[in-house]
């Protein structure tokens, strides 16, 4: 099975939120929180938070394309954040919270560009989608504190107010794609 896995690297705000969402999706084998798209090697969360590394808080997903398509992953990605806000998701502001698809192949680039154009033309959003579609260059895992943050219960207030609504949206809009243990 592992030889057929593909990789997707996405940024759409706080990686705690995005990790919690994709951990619940069928066909996702692993989700790692980290940083992508910047120039600094091996940045820490503190360095990225300062806003001068060029990195975005990101997740890197390993997925089984026989169970979930890259297109469905992107549908979930766009549905669980606001892709029309530049360098901001909710209260999180700065370049590190921008919306980005880091494609790993020409096929991923094609799918991302087609879906973005289709979604932009759909009228779902009053403002244009600002999600960047850029080639994957690097990914650095976040420190242990950030892994499985939602499940850890470290900040129940944050999780209840910020992450839970995104998970509820996933359960409502993508119920068929949610792992049975999370239904």
In a domain, 114, yes or no: yes
Per-residue pLDDT of the chain (183 residues; tens, 9 = 90+): 567 999 999 999 999 999 999 999 999 999 999 999 999 999 999 999 998 899 999 999 999 999 999 999 999 999 999 999 999 888 889 899 999 999 999 999 999 999 999 999 999 999 999 999 999 999 999 988 899 999 888 888 888 898 999 999 999 999 999 999 998
Phi first, then psi, for residue 31 (nearest 5°) are -135, 125
The residues annotated with a catalytic role in the active site are 14
Burial of 86 (0-12, 13-18, 19+ CB in 10 A): middle
DSSP per-residue string spanning the chain: -GGG-EEEEEEES-HHHHHHHHTTBTTEEEEEEEEES-SSSS--HHHHHTT-S--EEEEEEEE-TTTS-HHHHHHHHHHTS-TTSTTEETTEESGGG-EEEEESSHHHHHHHHHHHHHHHHHTSSSS----EEEE---EEEPPGGGTTHHHHTS-HHHIIIIIHHHHHHHHHHSGGGB-GGG-
pLDDT, residue 6, reads 98
In a domain, 57, yes or no: yes
pLDDT, residue 2, reads 61
Q: How many domains does the chain have?
A: 1
What's the whole-model pTM score? 0.95
In a domain, 125, yes or no: yes
CB within 8 Å of 183: residues ≥ 6 apart = 171, 175
pLDDT, residue 95, reads 93
pLDDT, residue 47, reads 94
In a domain, 52, yes or no: yes
Q: What is the CATH number of the domain that holds 81?
A: 3.30.1060.10
pLDDT, residue 167, reads 94
Order the strands of the 28-36 sheet from edge to edge. 132-135, 99-103, 6-12, 56-63, 28-36, 139-141
In a domain, 31, yes or no: yes
Name the residue range of residue 143's domain: 2-178
pLDDT, residue 156, reads 86
In a domain, 183, yes or no: no
In a domain, 101, yes or no: yes
In a domain, 89, yes or no: yes
């Amino acid at each position: 099975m592992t030889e057929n896995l593909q990789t997707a690297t996405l940024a759409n705000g706080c990686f705690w939120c995005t990790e919690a969402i994709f951990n619940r999706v069928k066909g996702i084998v692993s989700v790692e929180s980290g940083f992508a798209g910047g120039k600094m090697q091996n940045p820490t969360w503190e360095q990225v938070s300062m806003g001068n590394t060029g990195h975005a808080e990101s997740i890197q997903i390993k997925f089984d394309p026989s169970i979930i398509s890259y297109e469905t992953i992107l549908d979930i990605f766009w549905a669980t954040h606001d892709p029309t806000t530049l360098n901001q998701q909710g209260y999180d502001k700065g370049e590190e919270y921008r919306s980005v698809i880091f494609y790993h192949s020409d096929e991923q680039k094609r799918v991302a560009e087609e879906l973005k154009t289709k979604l932009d033309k759909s009228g779902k959003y009053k403002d244009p989608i600002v999600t960047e579609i850029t080639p994957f260059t690097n990914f650095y895992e976040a420190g242990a504190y950030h892994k499985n943050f939602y499940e850890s219960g470290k900040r129940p207030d944050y999780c209840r107010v910020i992450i839970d609504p995104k998970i509820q949206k996933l359960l409502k809009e993508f119920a068929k794609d949610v792992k049975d243990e999370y239904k």
